[in-house]
Amino acid sequence: MGLTSTGLKKIKTEINGTLPSLGLVRGNRKTVVEGSSFKAAISRDEGIVNAIIDRLDVASPRLAANGELTLDPASSSRLKLAGKELDVSQVRDWALKIAGDIEVVEYIFRHVKGGKIPEISFQTAGRSFDELWKTNNMAVTGTLRDGNILGFATGINLEEVSGPFVVSRGVLEANQFSARLGKIQGRDGVVRVGLEGKSAPFHLDMMVQADATELRSLLLRVVENEDFRKEVSKLRDVKGNLSGRLILGERIDSIFAKGFHLEGCH
């Protein structure tokens, strides 16, 4: 560690080292990271604190990251982080221990159970350090590979979820994603879901190939519109495979089929 100081108003510290373990505490929450190596610089100039992480490598949870934090009491605070090669299950356990009370963290990891994230970036800003953790101030972009997701509004468990995603202003969006539910395979999907409130927006549009019986059962489970349920319930002894386009929306507490064009069953 190196320290440079000009009086008490201007201080700069450079750190380059390793730690076998590091305990993190936030309020009454705590967790431990194992096997970390890092290179960083922390400076304070006229009350403004700036921390730059050039390199952070952690063995458990597996994480490689870099970023920058600026705390300016007279203006605003900003945080930027970028990571790569994340194991979702490991990061999930760690994140919920230290930040499970932050709404966006709790929401995302309540649904995202596993998979790999080749790259992810996170940024937030606020007038104080506490405001950094407000959902509407955060923006996250990344890509998920072979993920396991508990369905946003339906309680269904999706496997092999892959595709890019964005979280911004309290809304999660994913484009060109694919997923599997039993014998139902979806591709070229677009989803948009709000992270706050029971009446948050929800929209799903994707191409599907499905076992007819499983798809019928899924629609009766997630769609609450009575007219639609009556029509689907009239289908008896459905057999074969279906392919086509499925569109569901438009609020989490009121999902119905906006569009439903499928072919191939008997």
Residue 52 has what pLDDT? Answer: 96
| 110: nearest Cα among 118, 119, 102 | 102
**Paired tokens of 112:** 């995202």
Burial label, 82 (beta-carbon count in 10 A; 0-12, 13-18, 19+): middle
**Paired tokens of 40:** 């960083």
Residue 16 has what pLDDT? Answer: 92
Q: Are 14 and 51 in contact (CB under 8 A)?
A: no
Residue 259 has what pLDDT? Answer: 57
- Give the span between the Cα atoms of 222 and 253, in whole angstroms: 10
* Digitized pLDDT (tens) for each residue of the chain, 266 residues in all: 777 777 677 899 999 999 899 898 988 999 999 999 999 999 999 889 999 999 999 999 888 999 999 999 888 899 999 999 899 998 999 889 998 888 778 878 888 889 999 999 999 999 887 888 887 898 999 999 999 988 655 667 889 999 999 989 888 899 999 999 888 899 999 988 887 777 888 888 999 998 888 888 888 887 877 887 888 888 777 778 888 888 888 887 777 776 555 555 54
Residue 258 has what pLDDT? Answer: 64
Domain boundaries, the chain: 151-266
Residue 155 has what pLDDT? Answer: 65
Q: Beta 254-265 vs 240-251: how paired, if at all?
A: antiparallel
Instruction: Report in angstroms the alpha-carbon separations of 172 from 65, 143, 167, 191, 194.
Output: 22, 13, 4, 8, 6
Q: What are phi and psi of 214, to 5 degrees?
A: -65, -40
Residue 126 has what pLDDT? Answer: 92
Residue 88 has what pLDDT? Answer: 92
Residue 266 has what pLDDT? Answer: 46
